[in-house]
């Protein structure tokens, strides 16, 4: 783990895991340990040996009694990372789809106060179709990204990456516990962060598509896309004051730090 004697920010990696036994070890071993202070894994009711391997790797593990969902997993991840005293929290999927060695690239803009949220974009790093992204996911990603940019007034290359980092201030002010327990959680976080004035920066990251990597099917992806459109609709109604949604109101949460 890194030496924080020079006052560097405390970096905590969170790994939202569900049946990740086949790829957890290789993902963890690829993390540049000198850049990280702590690693937390939240097991969302896995039925394979994810928990056994996590314990062998001596990770700090939190276990859900059943599969509550991707968003619910992240809620535990961020709550526990804040309690652990994180200044920067990096979400890294344990399925080895994103390159763990690029973690310092995500941390750097936050450590230098250039951004509050950093997204690892697949669309800034080569041809995603050649990398293995299904064509229908590509088209859906492009359409949803265009709509989100239009609504939020940004020009991001993509919103749907699973490799991202948040500053402590974002996680303390964004009411993420009010968000969905499902996959739309990621997009809710970004809408909230933009609405509250936090800065977002993208960095290029490649991705890998292979059988062991987690990937939603066509029907699940369609439901995900529709849920994003509903989210944007709710946000627009809130922004023009037709409805008042707590989900888009800033608050300050305090978590006891563990040094």
Using one digit for the tens of pLDDT, what is the confidence trace for 18-63? 999 999 999 999 999 999 999 999 999 999 999 999 999 999 999 9
Each residue of 172-206: pLDDT tens digit?
A: 999 999 999 999 999 999 999 999 999 999 999 98
- Position 230 scores a pLDDT of 97
Q: What is the DSSP string of 110-123?
A: HHTTS-SEEEEEGG
Single pTM value for the model = 0.91
Q: What is the mean pLDDT of the chain?
A: 91
What's the pLDDT score for residue 87? 97
CA distance 54 to 205: 25
pLDDT over threshold 60, residue 168: yes
Domain edges within the chain: 11-248
Average pLDDT over residues 74-86: 98
The alpha carbon dihedral of 52, 25, 189, 229 has a sign of negative
Q: What percent of the chain has pLDDT over 70?
A: 92
Residues 6+ apart with CB under 8 A from 135: 129
pLDDT of residue 65: 95
Domain 11-248 class, CATH top level: alpha beta
For residue 145, what are the contacts with CB-CB under 8 A and spacing of at least 6? 156, 157, 158, 159, 160
What's the start-to-end Cα distance of the chain, in Å? 14
The residue whose two tokens read 């293995």 is 132
């Amino acid at each position: 783990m890194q030496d924080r004697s020079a006052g560097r920010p405390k970096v905590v990696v969170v790994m939202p895991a569900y049946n990740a036994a086949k790829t957890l070890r290789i993902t963890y071993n690829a993390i540049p340990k000198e850049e990280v202070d702590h690693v937390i894994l939240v097991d969302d009711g896995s039925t394979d040996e994810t928990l056994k391997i996590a314990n062998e790797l001596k990770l700090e593990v939190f276990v859900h009694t059943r599969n509550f969902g991707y968003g619910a997993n992240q809620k535990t991840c961020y709550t526990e990372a804040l309690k652990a005293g994180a200044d920067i929290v990096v979400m890294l999927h344990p399925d080895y789809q994103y390159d763990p060695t690029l973690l310092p690239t995500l941390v750097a803009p936050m450590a230098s106060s250039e951004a509050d949220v950093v997204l690892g974009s697949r669309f800034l790093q080569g041809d995603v179709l050649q990398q293995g992204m299904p064509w229908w996911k590509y088209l859906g990603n492009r359409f949803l990204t265009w709509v989100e940019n239009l609504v939020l007034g940004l020009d991001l290359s993509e919103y749907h990456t699973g490799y991202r980092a948040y500053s402590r201030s974002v996680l303390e002010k964004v009411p993420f516990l009010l968000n969905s327990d499902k996959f739309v959680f990621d997009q809710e976080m970004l809408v909230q962060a933009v609405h509250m004035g936090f800065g977002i920066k993208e960095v290029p990251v490649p991705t890998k598509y292979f059988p062991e990597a987690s990937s939603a099917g066509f029907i699940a992806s369609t439901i995900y896309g529709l849920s994003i459109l509903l989210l944007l609709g709710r946000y627009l109604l809130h922004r023009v004051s037709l409805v008042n949604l707590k989900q888009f109101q800033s608050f300050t949460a305090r978590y006891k730090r563990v040094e």
